[in-house]
Each structure stands twice: as structure tokens, then as C-alpha cells.
Chain A
Amino acid sequence: MIGRDEVLYVAALARLELREDEIEPMAAELSAVVGHIEKMSELDIDGVEPTSHVVAVTGALRADEPRSCLPRDVALSQAPAVADDGFLVPSPQA
């Protein structure tokens, strides 16, 4: 079972606010899904390699040559707040 404290810890890691009335339902829903997931422990996985790529990829890197990127004004055009040609955010320490 996933409890209240664990939910709040994970929410902090995920940078996700949870309102007071959302904590218990989240704990119950996560517990149900994790209960299902734990059925995997029935399987014998000794000696089985973890999947990294389902289809083998080789030579995925392109030539390391400089090329033009998004113009600054385009990159900033969708930002909620900008200042001095950059993204504006609140101070980390209010």
C-alpha cells in the first residue's frame, strides 16, 4: 500500500502540487495500479537482459556540423513571460 507520506514525497519529486482532498484518492489509485504491477514478480527473470532498444539502431548520429537553430524571437514567442531576450521565471528563493 502506498500511504499519504509516500504520495507527498513522490509529488515533491515530480514537482506536482496535490490539494488536500487529492492525496487520499491518489494513494488509493496508485496502490491499486502498483498491486497489479507487482504481478510481474511471479515471472522468473533470472538471466534475462533488460530491453534497451526493441529494434537495433546503428549509426544514429549525424555529422557534428554546426547549423542554424531557432531564431531567438521564435524560441521565446510561446513563453508565458520573457525579459531581456530570455525566459523570465520567479526567483528560486522568494
Chain B
Amino acid sequence: MSDGALIALTAEAAAARIADGSLPAAEYAEAYRARAAADRAAADDGLNCFTWVADSVGDHRAGPLAGVPVAVKDLFCTAGVPSQAGSRLLEGYLPPYTATAVRRLEDAGATSHAKTNQDEFAMGSSTENSAFGPSRNPWDRERVPGGSSGGSAAAVAAGLAPWALGTDTGGSIRQPAALCGIVGLKPTYGSVSRYGMIAFASSLDQAGPLTRNVRDAALMLRHMVGRDECDATSLDYPLEIRLPAREDLAGVRIGVPAELTADGIEAGVLARFSEALALAEGLGATIEQVTLPTAPHGLAAYYVLAPAECSSNLARFDGVRYGHRVEGADLTEMYTRTRHDGFGREVRRRVMLGTYALSSGYYDAFYDRAQRVRTLIAEDFARVFASVDIVATPTTPTVAFRLGEKTADPLAMYLSDYCTVPMSLAGIPAISIPAGLVDGLPAGLQLAAPAFKENELLDAARALELALAFDGSAAYV
């Protein structure tokens, strides 16, 4: 099969062909491995999607995903393979164990031969905060792929991986998926084990798929979910994740919150959003205006809670047990120098912000208040889901921005997650699917559902995906 024909296959189709013997697994995996290796070798002339690519394709287990390679975000620990979280501090770190999410995919037969670039410790919305240089958007190489799972998103969009594993704390799967014209799913908090995911904000972090279509997202998720005794917040997923087959939306009630669909959203993005809603109506859905009055405060609460948890989680990077060390005259100086040199600017900023918010005298005004705002946001969603099945918003306020455009202004960068953060705070599942192009750049449609309603969410996303008929092949390299 030609490279072009291989790349055109969905992961689901490739798995089926490998299973029936019409596609040799080694040929399929090697095609992707070689493409990933070429991107890595191209350095600044490529997309810089990868932080590590294996020299050869390894063996795989028997199973429903047998022989299908998955690109894995650098944030996941993979035994004996560099797992650096995009950080200088963890450069060359080789973990002794593999993250549960990765291991479960491998148990289902998937292989992993590449780690993907990301914002350092998943802190960022552009992948420009990687210690290993920014990734580029395959739709326009002068623009960012989004972040923090930007390497995963760009690799899938560019045909350098059939699908990829990412993580989402406030939008880090959905926002890069939107900016790269692919599908990205953040599952219900707790449905996928966080064991082996280098922790950023533990009450928000979730692993999820980045794929070229909704069925592939369902297929990957099916093999990731479930209770893991190594993660006390993980849960038994109550149902099997189905591969969605629905082509209509009859009887589906879609709520459109005014707070996330007006102010601050670019006109072109809003236009694609309105067209998608019209298509949904054509498929039989009813569209209702709803209100999420606390949602506009989501970013403020998020930028207390996430940095607070980050400042605590990142205390482990002290130059003692793993990673980079800068020597000092005494123990404290070794710590402070190691952390200064090992952490990039955004990570230092978040550690400072979180430490400030948790420091004596500020706890009530910041952390405690943010946790109460979080409750209000969850209550907003609960009220809305009493009358609708799905909440729809644009995924991001803008299409992909230029490299360097927002690096000097943290608040402007943080606004990239305006529409995705409320769902993260509420712990509910949300998916971004491509809604179309704005001046040649992809815009995303975000759909959200109540906790553990992934099947209904995927059904709605699939029906809309078929109606939207987005063609992302122009981004293939």
C-alpha cells in the first residue's frame, strides 16, 4: 500500500485490515514510524511534533488494536523511554514503569514508538513552552498547533500518527484538536487512570484521545477507561464505550450558553459554530438558549486551582531523585538553582502563582473561594443538563494564532481556554470536532455532556461530524 493510502485509513479501519490479514502490521507501523522519524530529523524544517522516535517498530500483543501505533504525549511515563514532560528538568529521564493509560492501549495490541511534544508540564496553550522548541501547525507553519498537547494534535492532523494520546487539564486536548482540525476528547474526570501521568493539577488532569474522527476517539477511549488501584480517583466506568453509529439527532436537546458563545469569540469562529447548530437542527436536534452564569469566572477559578495544585505537585522536582540538578553550596541552594534552571518561564510563573495563592493569609481569598466558584460552575451545568442533553460552544475563541503572538502576555494566552475550562472544573466529558475553516484555518465545535454520558456525547459528535463532512487531508505532510 502507498503511504498516501495508509494515511487515509482511520485507526479503526487499519485495525480491521491488520486483523483480517490484508494489511501487514509491520508495514503500517513502519510507515508511521518513518514519517515521525523524518519530522524529527527535519528539525526546524519540520513540525517538531516529536520528542522521541524509536529506531524500529517493536512487537505488539494480540488484541482489538493489534499493530496500530499510538503517539504518546511526553507527559506519560513509558518504561525505559524518555519521558520528559517537555521540561529541561526531566531531560533524559527514563521511568521505571509505564502509565496505566498507555499500558492498557498496549494490552489491547497498540504499539507506541513516538513521544509527542508539549508545553512544559502541560502548562500552556501553544506548545511554545516546550524546552524542546515549539511545534508548528500543519495548516500554517507560522502558527501554533495549540497546547498543551500540541505535538499530539499536529502529528495526527499532519498524518504523522494515526492517533495520539494527550492530556487535558483546562483544554489541553480540545484546544489543540480545534486548532489543528482534528477530534479531541476529554473524558469524565476519573474515568481514565492518571497513574504515570506526570502530575500538573491532579483534580483536573485527564488523559484522552486525539484522533481524525469520532469513532476512533471512541475506540481509543474504550480501551483506556476503568478503575486502577494505582489511582485512588479512578472509577469503574459504568458501561462499555460504544463505537457511535448514529447519523441523526432526533430528540437530542442541545443547549447553547450565551456566556460562552458571544463576547470575545472571533466572528469567523462564531460563523462556523452557527452553521454547525443549523446542521444539528437539520438532523432533528432542538436548540435551546441556556445560561451558565458562573462560567465566565471559570478562568479565574482555574488560574487559582491549577497553579495551586501545580506548585504542590512540582515540589517533587528538587534535583534529588531524578532529572536535572544544579549544584549549590548547601541543600536549599541546590533546590533553588535546580528549579530555576530546570523550569521554563511559564512553569516558574505558575509555581509562584500557586505558592502565592496557598500562602498564609491568602488561602481564603483565593483557593477556598475558587473551590466554591468551582461548585457553582458544576451546579450551573447540573441545572442546564436537567433540560438539555448536550451543551455546545465554540472550542476556542480564535483560530490558531502566530508563533510568538501571545508569549509576552500570559493573560491573553490563558484566554485560549475560556470555553474549555468550565467543563474541566465540572469534571464532565467534552469533545472538540472540526467545524470548518476560517480563512484556511480550522475552527472547533465543542460538545459537552453530563458525567459518564460519553456514549451519548460521541453519538451526537458522530452525527454532526458526518453532516459537517470536514476534510482535513490538506494538512497531511
Contacts and interface: CB of A to CB of B under 8 A. Distances in A.
Interface of A: 2, 6-7, 10-11, 13-19, 26, 29-30, 32-34, 36-43, 45, 48-55, 57, 60-62, 70, 74-75, 77-81, 87, 89-94
A42 B294 CA distance: 11
A79 B327 contact: no
B333 to A, nearest CB: 8
A64 B366 CA distance: 36
Contact of A75 (B96, B190, B371): B96
Given A11-B352, A54-B203, A62-B229, A32 B188 contact: no
Given A34-B356, A53-B233, A57-B232, A92 B427 contact: no
Interface in B329-354: 329-337, 339-340, 343, 348-349, 351-353
Contacts of B348: 16, 18, 26
A2 to B, nearest CB: 7
B242 interface: no
B304 interface: yes
Contact of B376 (A2, A33, A48): A48
Main secondary structure of the interface of A (DSSP, over half): loop
| Interface residues on chain B, size class | 35 or more
A43 B300 CA distance: 11
Given A14-B339, A36-B414, A51-B374, 20 more contacts: A13-B359, A14-B351, A15-B336, A26-B348, A26-B352, A30-B352, A30-B356, A36-B411, A37-B304, A37-B370, A38-B300, A40-B373, A49-B372, A50-B368, A51-B371, A54-B426, A70-B96, A77-B94, A87-B320, A90-B331
A29 B350 CA distance: 10
B413 to A, nearest CB: 11
A80 B323 contact: yes
26 contacts: A2-B356, A10-B352, A10-B355, A10-B356, A14-B352, A14-B355, A15-B336, A30-B353, A33-B414, A37-B303, A40-B304, A42-B297, A43-B294, A45-B373, A48-B372, A50-B372, A51-B375, A54-B425, A55-B188, A55-B235, A57-B235, A62-B229, A75-B321, A80-B325, A90-B333, A94-B330
